[in-house]
Amino acid sequence: MVNGKCTKHFSKSFNASTSFDSDGFPLYKRRDLGYTVERKGILLNNRYVVPHNRNLIVKCNAHINVEHCNYSRAIKYLFKYVHKGPDRATEIVDGTDPDSQDEIKEYLDCRYISTIEACWRIFQFEIHFREPAVERLPIQLSGQNIVTFNEQDLLDNVVRRPGIENTKLTEWFEANKKHAEARKLTYADFPTKWVWDSDSKHGK
């Protein structure tokens, strides 16, 4: 309790069904059954119940909160939060010449792997993944594809760059001209059978 208010936002409101708020947090179903319990002079009802699992409480002899996630943003948050490890900061007050700084040594000193991340890597579990995989397929009009270049590059050199006109869309058209099996695939299904080579700007 802080200033007479619960920091966990209890008591909760009654809900006919479970839903999610704008931040992805669950608003659990809470039925108004009319039951109340008096504790320290305060009447408590279903709005004050913390989500829990009775079997886990008995087995572990501790109160364990249980949250059911059925929202992609909440699952992503939990996955990163559990495996991110503790934060670490290193600060040095030194009067030596700043030109003599060993940046490689400083980087290695600040690299820290927690026990959770170490076990995850030892067992060779995937750190980041997305299922199903997402492939971005650009669409553009003829001669209007996006081109990236450095500020100091000469415009003539950029225009004459080999393969600058090739994109995933144009290569899909080229594959349809040359290969009968490619004609059976839509543009969205094309990455399931063909791979885009970013170096040569060709599908294969």
Query: What pLDDT was estimated at residue 165?
Result: 85
Question: What would the mean pLDDT of 77-99 be, rounded to a whole number?
Answer: 64
The region that residue 79 occupies, defined by phi over 0 for left and psi between -120 and 50 for alpha, beta otherwise, is alpha
Q: Is the pLDDT of residue 131 over 80?
A: no
Residue 145, token pair as written in the block: 């594809």
- Least trusted range by pLDDT, from 14-28, 72-86, 100-114, 185-199: 72-86
pLDDT tens column, 142-189: 888 888 888 888 888 888 888 888 888 888 888 889 888 888 889 888
Pairing assessment for the beta strands 42-44 and 19-20 based on DSSP bridges? unpaired
Residue 62 DSSP class: S
Enter the pTM of the model.
0.37
Q: Where are the beta strands (DSSP E) in 40-148?
A: 42-44
Cα 179 to Cα 185: distance, rounded to the nearest angstrom: 11
- Least trusted range by pLDDT, from 28-37, 85-94, 109-118, 139-148: 85-94
Q: At 24, is the pLDDT very low, low, confident or very high (cuts 50, 70, 90)?
A: low
Question: What would the mean pLDDT of 38-59 be, rounded to a whole number?
Answer: 86
Mean per-residue pLDDT of the chain: 79
Q: Is the pLDDT of residue 43 over 80?
A: yes
* 199 φ/ψ angles, rounded to the nearest 5 degrees: -75, -50
Residue 79 DSSP class: H
Domain residue ranges of the chain, discontinuous segments joined by +: 19-74, 80-122, 134-204
* Torsion angle in degrees (nearest 10) through CA of 78, 110, 104, 106: 150
CB burial readout 55-82, b (16+ within 10 A) else e: eeeeeeeeeeeeeebebeebeeeeeeee
Quote the percentage of the chain above a pLDDT of 90.
0
Query: What pLDDT was estimated at residue 164?
Result: 82
Residue 17, token pair as written in the block: 């069904």
Cα 202 to Cα 163: distance, rounded to the nearest angstrom: 9
Question: What would the mean pLDDT of 6-20 be, rounded to a whole number?
Answer: 84
